[in-house]
Amino acid sequence: MTTLRAVGDRAVIVDCADLEAVLALHAALAASPPDGVIDLVPAARTVLVTFDPSILAGDRVAGWIRSTPPVRPGALGDAGDALVLDVEYSGEDLGEVASLLSLTEREVVDLHTASVWRVAFVGFAPGFGYLVTDSTRLAVPRRSSPRTSVPAGAVGLAGEYTGVYPRSSPGGWQLIGRTDAPLWNADASPPALLTPGRVVCFREAS
Amino acid sequence: MTALAVLRAGPLTTVQDLGRPGLAALGVSGSGALDRGALRLGNRLVGNDEGAAALEITVGGFSGVVDRDVWIAGTGAWGPVTLGNRAIDPNHPVFAAAGTPIEIGVATFGLRYYLAVSGGVAVPSVLGSRSRDILSGIGPPPLLDGDTVPIGSPRTGAIPALDVAPWSPPDPETVTVPLHAGPRESWFTPASLDLLFSEPWTLGSASNRVGARLEGPVLERSAAGEGELPSEGMVAGALQVPPSGQPTVLLADHPTTGGYPVIGAVASAALDVFAQLRPGQRVRFRHARPL
């Protein structure tokens, strides 16, 4: 069950039941955008669709969204075409995360590397992907006070998500490691390594 | 290559064009000139494509000089603008001989000038645009005293003959702006929705290219709006209400997602108004015609 709400005269936001429904609707819409659609922005419980009303009228956009059947993404069990990111698990919050989850640090790392993740959406900063997996075993709250500066490549956990800071910025995620992967390159197409829908695995750097 | 030398950059001068739409799913906002109408007019006046890059000069305090004969036009804010010793009018194509200084004083109407130059500002583009996004840091850095920016080759042929474009100065009084219902209207009390339209709002001094912060009565959440909104996609013009109850109109460099409920959305044709509102100036909302 989806609800459409206009956001002014150039955008519609679709409320979805859960993140899985977001991924399914986003995948379906991304496969068939009519001319005049500018952006499809998935988020935790919504998909935002922006459009140019001089090319495509708002009621046509709504009709397209309503008539597009969601596409359930494939099961995450199959990691065959996953992007692999090498991570040094030396994050400052690894101990804190382990104690929050009543696990050892080793078990946190093993859970993080054994899970297959999918980029649900990108937000907060260019190229900052929110990755989810089938289990919520690694869910932790954000830090109570955010850091004023988190280095580029820092791998963190917050809520049900894992993510990697594409560049240095303030941030409140619990940091468990770091990677050298080039997450953002303005000269590349696409400029972000992590794009919505991408399947990702983390591997412990030796 | 032709260049514009920046003698004084003023408080904030950036290069802006019509931005980089279509990358929001990667966390990149549209950016671009805050007063898009003024940018497009300036470019038309000097014979450029409407989307050519120009300088967005906030408040004023700018001076610069070009090393080749060009046509220039100042649009957007109104204030004392001189070319050499000669005062020049806004919205007016002017021939600027090489070496003649262009001075742009503190704006008396509006807040953001656009200085368009025939050939356009030709700094390298990033992700398809020459615009500076001040939130994400994408695009050419704000200009500093002593910088030079390259100017492109003008289109061949004469620029359109036009003495002056009949544009009014930005309105210095209370401005009324059409507002559409927002997707999270039900998160607010009916009384707050009434206040939104009945009371004037004052532009706060912390406003910038990311958002216009409005000060006025506190907009209160309804019982239905007591939870926390999961972050969702945002658009320019969205009127986002943080827990303080003081709304912010998101502008070109807004974050692509946000977790505060959107109570309304400014009609896109009226969004340029927020580029020219001055801190302390008042704005009122009226109901936009339903979509």
A89 and A180 both lie in a single domain: yes
B213 and B135 both lie in a single domain: no
Q: Do B25 and A38 touch (CB under 8 A)?
A: no
A123 and A166 both lie in a single domain: yes
A57 and A9 both lie in a single domain: yes
Assigned domain for B164 exists: no
Residue that the structure tokens 């009384």 belong to: B191
B179 and B143 both lie in a single domain: no
Q: Which residues in chain B are closer than 8 Å to A122, comparing Cβ atoms?
A: 25-27, 256
The enclosing domain of A62 has a CATH number of 3.30.1360.40
**Count of domains for chain B:** 2
| Cα distances (angstroms) measured from residue B67 to each of B95, B151, B188 | 13, 10, 56
Mean pLDDT in residue range B70-78: 96
The CA distance from B174 to A93, in Å, is: 51
B90 and B183 both lie in a single domain: no
A147 and A92 both lie in a single domain: yes
Q: By the CB < 8 Å criterion, does B261 face chain A?
A: no
Assigned domain for B205 exists: yes
A41 and A88 both lie in a single domain: no
**Count of domains for chain A:** 2
Assigned domain for B202 exists: yes
Q: Which H, E and C letters describe B71-121, residue by residue?
A: EEEEEEEECCEEECCEECCCCCCEEECCCCCEEECCCCEEEEEEEEECCCE
Assigned domain for A78 exists: no
Domain ranges, residue B70: 3-150
B110 and B206 both lie in a single domain: no
Query: Maximum CA pair distance of chain A?
Result: 57
A157 and A196 both lie in a single domain: yes
Does residue B261 have a cis peptide bond before it, meaning omega lies within 30 degrees of 0?
no
Name the least confident of A64-78, A150-164, B65-79, B175-189. A64-78
Residue A77 pLDDT more than 60? Answer: no
The CA distance from A184 to A188, in Å, is: 8
Of B25, B138, B266, the CB nearest to A186: B138
- pTM reported for the whole predicted model: 0.93
Beta strands in B118-206 (DSSP E): 148-150, 175-181, 201-203
Q: Which residues in chain B are closer than 8 Å to A43, comparing Cβ atoms?
A: 230-233, 257
Q: Which of B51, B57, B65, B58 is nearest to B4 (CA)?
A: B65
* Optimal mutation site among B210, B235, B251, B268, interface A, most CBs of chain A within 10 A: B235
Mean pLDDT in residue range A148-156: 95
| Domain limit, last residue, from A41, A67, A93 | A67
Percent of chain B with pLDDT over 70: 99
Coil, strand or helix: which one is A103? coil
The CA distance from A181 to A17, in Å, is: 33
The enclosing domain of A128 has a CATH number of 2.40.100.10
Name the least confident of A167-176, B17-26, B160-169. B160-169
Assigned domain for B167 exists: no
Assigned domain for A73 exists: no
Assigned domain for B157 exists: no
Higher pLDDT, B207 or A77: B207
Assigned domain for A184 exists: yes
CB atoms within 10 A of CB B280: 10
B109 and B72 both lie in a single domain: yes
Assigned domain for B69 exists: yes
A62 and A120 both lie in a single domain: no
B141 and B194 both lie in a single domain: no
Mean pLDDT in residue range B69-78: 96
The CA distance from B271 to B211, in Å, is: 11
Assigned domain for B163 exists: no
B16 and B127 both lie in a single domain: yes
Q: What is the pLDDT of residues B59-72, one digit of tens each?
A: 999 999 999 999 99
Q: How far is A51 from chain B (nearest CA, A)?
A: 10
Residues in chain A: 206
> Could you tell me the two tokens for A123?
């937000």
Domain ranges, residue A151: 83-204
A146 and A44 both lie in a single domain: no
Per-residue b/e over B191-222, b at no fewer than 16 CB within 10 Å?
Answer: ebbebbeeeebbbbeebebbbbbbbbbebebe
Assigned domain for B33 exists: yes
The CA distance from A87 to A66, in Å, is: 41
B10 and B142 both lie in a single domain: yes
A110 and A150 both lie in a single domain: yes
A100 and A33 both lie in a single domain: no
B23 and B128 both lie in a single domain: yes
* Optimal mutation site among A2, A5, A7, interface B, most CBs of chain B within 10 A: A7
A180 and A148 both lie in a single domain: yes
What DSSP letter does each residue of B202-253 carry, written as one string?
Answer: EE-TT--SSEEEEESSPPPB-GGG-S-PPPEE--TTEEE--TTS--EEE-TT
A87 and A143 both lie in a single domain: yes
Q: What is the pLDDT of residues B88-128, one digit of tens each?
A: 999 999 999 999 999 999 999 999 999 999 999 999 999 99
B22 and B72 both lie in a single domain: yes
Let me know: does A134 contact A76? Beta carbons within 8 Å: yes
B194 and B238 both lie in a single domain: yes
B181 and B225 both lie in a single domain: yes
